[in-house]
A and B are shown apart, each in its own frame.
Chain A
Amino acid sequence: MTPARAILLTILVVSAVGAYWLLGKDNDETVFSSIEDANVGGRESQGSPPTREIDRTQHVEDGLAPEAPRPNLAQAEPRERPPAPVATSSEAGSVDETALRYFARQGDTKRLQAEIARLRALYPNWTPPADPLAAPTQADPRVDVLWTLYSQGKYAQLRSAIADRQTREPNWQPPKDLLDRLAVAEARERLVNASELKQYETVVTIAANSPALLTCSEVDTLWRVAEAFAMTSRPDRAKEAYLYILRNCDNPGERVATVQKAVPLLQRDAIDELLATERPGADGQGEFAKVRPDMVRRSVAAGVAEPPAPVPEADLKALEVLGQNSGLASDALLLGWYYLRHDDAANAQTWFAKARQVEDSAETSQGLALALIALQKPGEAENILYKWQDTSDELRNTYLAAVTNLLAVEPIAPIDPIILQRIVPVVAKAKDAAAAQQLGWYAHAFDQDQTAAKWFSAALQWKADDEPSAYGLAVVRMALGDKQGVAELQRQWASRSERIATIAEPQVKTAATAAARRKAVATVEGGKMVMPEETVQTETSPHNRRGAATQPNLQGCSKTDLYSPATGRVALSRGWCLMEIDRPMEAVAAFEAALQTNSEAVRRDAAWGQSLAYIRAGLANEAAVAAAKTPQSRERALDLEASILSLRATGFFEKKRYAETILALDQRARIAPERLDLMAMRGYAYLSLRRINEARQVFEALAAAGDPQGQRGLAAVRATIDPNPQD
């Protein structure tokens, strides 16, 4: 049970809209100790609210001096009653105890206590009757009728009844106490109604005119007034109202609720001021202990909002502790969204995964999938989202983003047929042009150009102005030898696409194809999609679309072993990745792992990759062995052989084995045009073998091609013929 306090606030109205909170009169618990049971007195002795004097000091000093711990203050200050304000002091004899006696007779203890508190506040020298019930009966039973109406909350009827009696008895005056209380009750109703309708100016005006409403027994009114201040851009006034409650009112539930109500309305520093008034709770913890988590959640949630508010590091850490310990999916989820929003996909993945462990829902799955997409793990994202893709448009879109990214993975790798089979109907049903385009490129990569053509056509049907799909269609029609179809596309896109117009030039084709794939990677609201960098690959052959499409990803190589049961594909990706960061011998090992799988396509790519890795390492023989591990396409085989012969020629040349150098170069020249650097090597090899005429021819050809090596070589030829040109 909590004693109602009657700490009155005097509102000094300084303008039509502004009211100042000043502490007026003191509460006095000693009144209650005579009425309340022993519990009240016991509680008071351990943690009393500050007296008015303390508060006034705080006011005067305006917070300059740090507030001393409450228990010390309470013990240091003798519980002296401050002198009664002159303006409201009154002889005890003139105190109207009508209401008090009425409530006592009615057995209405709540109102009785409130009335005693009110009278104590108004008349500090007044002592309540030891036994209100023993008091003389009401002299005028007709006044009892009025009090009955009052206690029933029938204020309009009470107004009516008073007017009625005044009409009949012009000299009769209603008890002033009754009129005062009626006015306060009506003001309270009006204030609550205005507050419900968000008529905040009205709320403040009513409060300013009814200081009796602003007491600890009217905490709800105080909350509403504080809200009205906050909602009308007066946060300092709002804070003072909340602080008033926290400094003066004792009801533990109301104190906690006060902070909770303030949290959405005030800035963080103001909330911290409120929290500083915390008292120890019954369990030994601070009374606001359970409020803090909500504050932290709110703070982090604000960091996810649009625009995001800055989140104090301490709040983030606190929520992480909660996320670890609370066992609530919502805490982990909130952290996931926070990190995703702030481009920390790795942390986002951790928290979404934790949330999903607690609760495998559409939202936790979506969050995790978005993080995985951001981490370039679209395969996992697809796998997680598949069962939720039908629950909402948003989830469908996220799923399609995962699919699009999965299909666009570079280097391209076969997707488990089971996965592919479930992707296709979703793309078809959603009529998603981006995913359809990627299915087109995917089919094209595996030489299923008829299928590819169908997907590109579908994409164009769903998105008529989709140039990348039109380009894809042109590419596969070229591959299919459908010259008429290509010409038709060129006509349709004549003014809109240069690359479709120039599609016949093969060396442009594959590099552009890769670029088209990169551009097609989708983005989706709520998560950041992968957007590979444009990278220029100078060392790879024009036929190597993988090389052209692969982007450096230094972090990516070590993570690939985390995902997907298709280990061969994983190892393959890892190998290409290691090649990108120029660690060819590690790449050799990765490709070796990929070679252990049963998939013919993976094995073929792995052998090719391993061969290239050996070439990169300068190991021609090993490269040749690797190239022979699986049959390669003629194009690749020739490409590899040319590379290996270049490597061999270089090796012989460095060992001054010039005849073998020429032999290797001749072998290479049968399958590939000779590069200028190799021509120079050939020239010097001839010269070293003193095959002067052949050397001169080579260097003259080089010089004719504008290569400075040509003139230098010719000078060397002249020097060999005539070591002393001056003569």
Chain B
Amino acid sequence: MRHVLACAFYCVMGIVFNPSVRAGAATPLIAAADWNAYKQKFLDPSGRIVDDGNGNISHSEGQGYGLLLAYLAENRSDFELIWSFTRTELLLRNDHLAVWKWDPAASPHVTDVNNAADGDILIAYALARAGKEWGEPDLVDSATEIVKAISANVVYQHEGRRLILPGASGFSAKDREDGPVINISYWIFEAFPVFAELDPQTGWDGIARDGLNLVALSLIGPKRLPPDWLSLKADSKPAKGFPPEFGYNALRVPLYLLRSGVTDPGLLDPFAEMNAAGAVDITDVETGEGRQALTDPGYRIITALAACATKGTPVPAALKSFAPTLYYPSTLHLLGLAYIAERQGGCR
């Protein structure tokens, strides 16, 4: 464990010093054709990203991804479309965070005013980057407001660490017997240096550092994989009421690490090892048993990138071309491709 923590520190240095944001690029990090294919399938004309694997609902995470992808595709028109919907339909909470779910079949469309921290982080991050690059102070102001709201409502002190709770209510030590409970895939590490600029008081570099330690802590069980939902009470273990699974949430963790510039094998190896099998395995973290092999290229590119970054294994050509499948893997796929484009075809 010690080497992991030492590495974690090194990795943070990576975050701070690795200039991952490429301003004013000649060609967008997401190709126009890929974005067009994506939006054709998942972007409703009203400006909402449709989660077609989940009853065609929309959510703050999807809107955040949509904004980030539109920004990376340098499509201001689509960015404005998604932002207008996000602002008027989701950014409604008194605390300036977004309600997490919007259901076209429900009336009213929002029936649950809870937030989801990853959605809030993605929205604020995309707004901040777009606002800065496009010289739109209004977008930066909106980002700043959300970042401060995240700091005030979901950043949580626990045993000397600062955590990001999955939502403003329901996850703290006070709210749950096994609390605090975290979702480690809600640490979108690439956003934190940007947040630190907008909100210097909160100390986002420290939150990032604590986050890398938490990633190391969350690698549990025979395969050293993080569960989607982790209880931090006393010992870190899968949270009650959730399957003890490395699942659809946690499979994003290596992608976020890589995109933020973290290439530490101590953190990435468990995911890189999964690459050889050609699928991402939903895994019972306690037994190490695989439950479901996910072969969508959007999932596979994540482990392929981990293997590429840690072992130099080339990313298969088939994963480098994009064809939309379902909202979630397609989104991850485009983020993976943007990562490669940012490194001019390389993977670290």
Question: Which residues of A approach B to under 8 Å, CB–CB?
Answer: 154-157, 159-164, 166-167, 186, 189-190, 193-194, 196-202
Contacts and interface: CB of A to CB of B under 8 A. Distances in A.
Contact of B108 (A156, A157, A196): A196
30 contacts: A155-B84, A156-B46, A156-B80, A156-B81, A156-B82, A156-B85, A159-B81, A159-B83, A159-B84, A160-B47, A160-B77, A160-B78, A161-B77, A162-B80, A163-B76, A163-B80, A189-B88, A190-B88, A193-B89, A193-B108, A196-B110, A197-B92, A197-B93, A197-B99, A197-B108, A197-B110, A197-B113, A199-B92, A200-B94, A202-B93
A32 B110 CA distance: 40
Contacts of A164: 76-77
A234 to B, nearest CB: 14
B93 A199 contact: yes
B271 interface: no
Nearest to B111: A197
Contacts of B222: none
Contacts of A157: 45-47, 81
A166 B45 CA distance: 19
Contacts of A159: 80-81, 83-84
B91 interface: yes
A163 B91 CA distance: 21
Contacts of B91: 190
B125 interface: no
Nearest to A185: B88
B87 A186 contact: yes
Contacts of A156: 46-47, 80-82, 84-85, 88
B35 interface: no
Nearest to B76: A163
B79 interface: yes
A193 B91 CA distance: 10
Given A155-B84, A160-B84, 8 more contacts: A154-B45, A157-B81, A159-B84, A163-B76, A163-B79, A190-B88, A197-B108, A202-B93
A199 B88 contact: no
Contacts of B77: 160-161, 163-164, 167
B88 A202 contact: no
Interface string B10-51: 000000000000000000000000000000000001110000
Contacts of B113: 197-199
Contacts of B89: 193
A193 B92 contact: yes
Contacts of A196: 108, 110
Nearest to A182: B84
A164 B84 CA distance: 14
User: Which of A160, A161, A167, A190 has most chain B Cβ within 10 Å?
Assistant: A160
B88 A193 contact: yes
Q: Which 9 A-B pairs have the closest CB atoms?
A: A156-B47, A156-B84, A160-B81, A164-B77, A201-B94, A159-B80, A163-B80, A194-B92, A163-B77
Nearest to B48: A156
A202 B85 contact: no
Contacts of A160: 47, 77-78, 80-81, 84
B113 to A, nearest CB: 5
B131 to A, nearest CB: 13
A574 to B, nearest CB: 64
A194 B110 CA distance: 10
B30 to A, nearest CB: 16
* Chain A CB within 10 A, most for which of B46, B77, B89, B91: B77
Contact of A202 (B47, B78, B92, B110): B92
Interface string B93-116: 110000100000000101001000
Contact of A167 (B76, B92, B99, B108): B76
A182 to B, nearest CB: 9
A160 to B, nearest CB: 4
- Residue of A161, A166, A193 ringed by the most chain B CB atoms within 10 A: A193
A345 B81 CA distance: 66
Contacts of A155: 84, 88
Contacts of B92: 190, 193-194, 197, 199, 202
Contacts of B80: 156, 159-160, 162-163
Which of A163, A167, A194, A201 counts the most chain B CB atoms within 10 A? A163
Contacts of B46: 154, 156-157
A200 B83 CA distance: 22
A166 B79 CA distance: 13
Given A160-B78, A163-B80, A164-B77, A190 B87 contact: yes
Contacts of A199: 92-94, 113
A501 to B, nearest CB: 52
A162 B76 CA distance: 10
A200 B92 CA distance: 9
A194 to B, nearest CB: 4
B145 to A, nearest CB: 10
Contacts of B93: 197, 199, 202
A199 B80 CA distance: 24
A157 B81 CA distance: 6
A159 B82 CA distance: 9
Contacts of B94: 199-202
A186 B47 CA distance: 13
Contacts of B47: 156-157, 160
B220 to A, nearest CB: 38
For B45, B81, B93, the residue with the greatest tally of chain A CB atoms inside 10 Å of its CB is B81
A161 B79 CA distance: 11
Given A193-B92, A197-B113, A186 B84 contact: yes
A159 B139 CA distance: 14
Contacts of B84: 155-156, 159-160, 186
Contacts of B83: 159
Contacts of B110: 193, 196-197
A378 B87 CA distance: 64
A200 B78 CA distance: 30
A167 B80 CA distance: 12
A146 to B, nearest CB: 13
A105 to B, nearest CB: 25
Nearest to A188: B88
A410 B79 CA distance: 84
A186 B87 CA distance: 9
A163 B108 CA distance: 29
A202 B76 CA distance: 27
A166 B87 CA distance: 21
Contacts of B87: 186, 190
Q: Which of B46, B92, B99 has the most CB of A within 10 A?
A: B92
A189 B91 CA distance: 11
Contacts of A154: 45-46
Nearest to A187: B88
Contacts of A202: 92-94
A521 B7 CA distance: 80
Interface in B146-179: none
A161 to B, nearest CB: 7
B200 to A, nearest CB: 20
A443 B185 CA distance: 77
A193 B79 CA distance: 22
A230 to B, nearest CB: 15
A156 B46 CA distance: 6
A551 B110 CA distance: 64
Contacts of A162: 80
A154 B76 CA distance: 17
Contacts of A193: 88-89, 92, 108, 110
A586 B87 CA distance: 85
Nearest to B99: A197
B133 to A, nearest CB: 13
Nearest to A158: B84
A167 B84 CA distance: 17
Interface string B220-258: 000000000000000000000000000000000000000
B289 to A, nearest CB: 42
Contacts of A161: 77
